[in-house]
Structure 1
Amino acid sequence: MLTSRIISRSSKVATATTSRLTTPVRPKSIYSIRPITCSTKLYKEDKRQPNFASRALEQTEDDHEGAFGRTDNTIRIEHPDEMEHPPSKPIQGRGGLHFKRTLASFTMENRTVIVTGGARGLGLVMSQACVISGADVAIVDLNKDEGQRQADELMKHFQEENPGAENVPKVTAHYCDVSDNESVKSTVAEIVKVHGKVDHLVTSAGFTENFDAIAYPPDRLRKLWGVDVDGTYFFACEVARHLIDRKAKGSMVLIGSMSGAIVNVPQPQAPYNAAKAAVRHLASSFAVEWAHAGIRVNCISPGYMLTALTEKIMIENPDLHKQWTSLIPTGKMGQPEDLMGAVCYLLSDASGYVTGADLRVDGGYTIT
């Protein structure tokens, strides 16, 4: 910076000298230019006239500067109890006979996929995507009854949209507390017994809620991390153990969130953000650790998605929807089906040389 300053001043001196032909002036040496200083006089002037940054710090809470980049500690949203959780519906018209040609490497026929949290929301839609792509699916959820209902619905829709199909995917439902390692081991063993093997895993079990960090109830904090982080870890390790014992290749998709890379506003959710950052890095770590066994591990980081639960929150908190969409370059929240192509790509052979990647499906939120 000092060098560019000297060159600039020297050029001005030379120009001035050339223009004054009648009165020759000896140019000053470039080394005689007064350097940038923090003299007492200048300091006092700054004190009398505060700079822009200083003035910004004096703004009240009602001013707009930085307001949209802060969290609001008055926002508190608890994750609903199991029986209060709104049900989801399979996406209509997404299956059917495939008249459009596509790459054969996207198929998942003769594969078995475990989807945790598969009875609702994003997990249900990704389960359906796997079924449409020809895979057998094991839906894992804390609510087995809801999981069984959705398993029946997925098979029903497939048969209706593919009349006369010879190979109808097998969809089953299984109970599991993903935060309990023994429960995870028991569930994976049950799935292997029913399906014969496991080839893929999607860890969609997880939840978020909003409390400011200081007021976050410790028991709810441990529950969130238990489901979002421990559950992802336990299931990934158990499926990897199964694949390594079989000497079989496979792939996993860990469901993270854009919250693992940015801080959401205005709702405070530090534990969830940290949990999803952990999930993203688990995918990278597992990808390296299990590469020798032919196991690929990737992460999908969704942005704001309009699930049944999110829609309920939007109805109860309309200002949140307005602020969220104002920060998304595409100007809208994502639909759950926006994840169908992403999960099929990362699970299937179409992404055979992709591992340790984080695919953000967020409408551009994290790049602005």
Structure 2
Amino acid sequence: MFRRPTTSALLRLRLCPLRSGALLPKASPARIAPGQFARTDPSITVEYPEEKDMPSSAPVRRVKRTLGSFSLEGKVAVVTGGARGLGYVMTQALVESGADAAIVDLNGEEAIKAAAMLLKHFRDTNPDADRVPTITAHSADVSSPGSVKAVMEEVLSQHNNHIDVLVTSAGFTENFKAEDYPHDRMQKLWGVNVDGTYLCAVEVAKHLIASKKPGSMVFIGSMSGSIVNIPQPQAPYNAAKAAVRHLASSMAVEWSTHGIRVNCISPGYMLTALTKKILDDNPELKAKWTSLIPQGRMGNPEDLMGAVVFLASDASLYVTGADLRVDGGYTVT
């Protein structure tokens, strides 16, 4: 027996979400073509500013109690790409959890500035602290074996021959159609994202193995290592982050007998100072990105603070080779 749809049923039909997350307009369905939001778009380009125009980061104000196993007291953490953006906020999370930190960045001046800001923030928010963390700044090109080796020796010399945690946040992305990607740019992208992760991990592993000490490594991948971002074309970056994710799994197995855990964090779209600057000039791109995220918003850098502390600390002693996706549900839709 046929029943006339109720008003609420009709409303649900009209607002049935497309696969992309956008809603089909009631008045003019022809304006949205099938699959139009599930393709890369060569007209989408993201222009990254020059180094001198890159925005700096500022500390996030948050102090809460937590489980003792999350404490990083007595540990030294090295964070590559820690002078800005996600690396900066994750360095702050490690410091607030008790660790000393070594910020490694291509821009040495920005690394010095970041270390000073984080130290000041700690003192301002913990005026009665018994101990003030040691935060050092270092400059290195993570794509260069010689530079990585030298900077790790420098870090060890300034932190009592001590490294317990490595976070590899150095990386960048670009948008080119695959057939137009300049080969030298692709080599640079792979050099920083993949070679940089590998080289830093190997140097820290050599130290830990020689010292017969356990350690934790957290590689910063991306949801791009599991899915294809749209609408911007970025095939080499996606492949590079897939390599980082699998490198974490492979090294986790290889170094497990030495007590070295290796995990990966794969962030989704994050509103860093740089991303905000880009999206202010591309509001339509932001709308497309957020339309594909089940939580309906882009992530904030501080959304990674708990994740990195968890994987760096003893709270995750039985976790290795894992990929923790922090993406608002993007990759499960």
Normalising by structure 2, what TM-score? 0.89
Shift, 1:63, TM fit: 5.6
Residue aligning to 2:53:
84
Kindly tell me: are residues 224 and 78 of structure 1, through their superposed partners in 2, closer, same or farther at Cα, counting changes over 3 Å? farther
Is residue 116 of structure 1 aligned with residue 68 of structure 2? no
- Give the Cα–Cα distance (whole angstroms) in 1 for the partners of residues 210 and 58 of structure 2: 36
Shift of 1:62: 7.1
Q: CA deviation at 1:304?
A: 0.3
Confirm or deny: 8 A CA contact 2:48 2:278 kept in the other structure: no
* Residue equivalent to 1:357: 322
Output one character per residue of 1:289-338: Cα deviation in whole Å (capped at 9) or x when no partner. Answer: 00000000000000000001111111111111000000000000000000
Q: Which amino acid letter does the alignment assign opposite residue 68 of structure 1?
A: F
Whether contact under 8 Å (2:102, 2:155) holds in the other structure is yes
Paired residue for 1:128, among 92, 106, 114?
Answer: 92
Displacement of 1:164? 2.1
Q: Structure 1: which amino acid aligns with 2:122?
A: F
Matched with 2:301 is 336
Aligned residue pairs total 303
Q: 3-state DSSP class of the match of 1:244? A: helix
Return the alpha-carbon distance in structure 1 between the equivalents of residues 118 and 269 of structure 2.
Answer: 25
Q: Is the 2:216–2:262 Cα contact (8 Å) retained in structure 1?
A: yes
Asked if residue 73 in structure 1 is aligned to residue 37 in structure 2, the reply is: no
Whole-angstrom CA distance in 2 between matches of 1:94 and 1:202: 21
Moved over 6 A (4+): none
- CA distance in 2 between counterparts of 1:260 and 1:109 reads 32
Could you say what secondary structure the match of 1:339 adopts? helix
Distance (Å, rounded) in 1 between the aligned partners of 2:265 and 2:95: 19
Separation of aligned partners in 1, 2:215 and 2:246:
19
Q: How does 1:48-197 map to 2 (within 5 A)?
A: 64-91=33-60, 93-95=61-63, 98=64, 100=65, 102-196=66-160, 197=162
| Residue deviations 1:24-47 (CA, integer Å, cap 9, x gap) | xxxxxxxxxxxxxxxxxxxxxxxx
Where 1:202 maps in the other structure, the secondary structure is strand
2:215–2:260 CA contact under 8 A, matched in 1: yes
**Which residue does the alignment assign to 1:348?**
313
Letter in 1 for 2:187: R
- The structure with higher relative contact order (CA 8 Å, sep 6+) is 2
> Is the Cα contact below 8 Å between 1:79 and 1:208 reproduced in 2?
no
Please report how far the alpha carbon of residue 78 of structure 1 lies from its aligned counterpart in structure 2 after TM superposition.
4.0
Over residues 58-81 of structure 1, what are the superposed CA-to-partner deviations in whole Å (9 max), with x where a residue is unaligned?
xxx976111000000112224433
Matched residue, 2:6: none
- Provide the C-alpha distance between the structure 2 equivalents of 1:233 and 1:181, rounded to a whole number of angstroms: 10
TM-score of the two chains, using structure 1 as the length reference = 0.81
Q: Distance in 2 between matches of 1:320 and 1:69?
A: 14
Contact 2:270 2:299 in 1 (8 A): yes
CA contact (8 A) 2:219 2:264 kept: yes
Amino acid at match of 1:178: V
Unmatched segments (≥5 aa) in structure 2:
1-29
Measure, in 1, the Cα distance between the counterparts of 2:320 and 2:242: 17
* Sequence identity (%): 64
Counterpart position of 1:296: 261
Cα distance in 1 between the residues matched to 2:117 and 2:280: 27
Partner Cα distance (1:205, 1:182) in 2: 17
From 253, 264, 271, the counterpart of 1:306: 271
Counterpart CA distance in 1 for 2:185 and 2:242 is: 18
Alpha carbons 1:79, 1:207 under 8 Å: kept? no
Q: Which amino acid in structure 2 is aligned with residue 115 of structure 1?
A: V
**Mapping of residues 207-222 of structure 1, within 5 Å:** 207-222=172-187
SS of match in other structure, 1:209: coil
Instruction: Report the equivalent of 1:327.
Output: 292
Distance in 2 between the 1:292 and 1:166 partners?
36
**Structure with the greater alpha carbon radius of gyration:** 1
> Aligned partners of 2:243, 2:322: CA distance in 1, in Å?
14
Which residue is 2:331 aligned to?
A: 366
User: 1:206 is matched with which residue?
Assistant: 171
Partner Cα separation in structure 2 for residue 63 and residue 149 of structure 1: 48
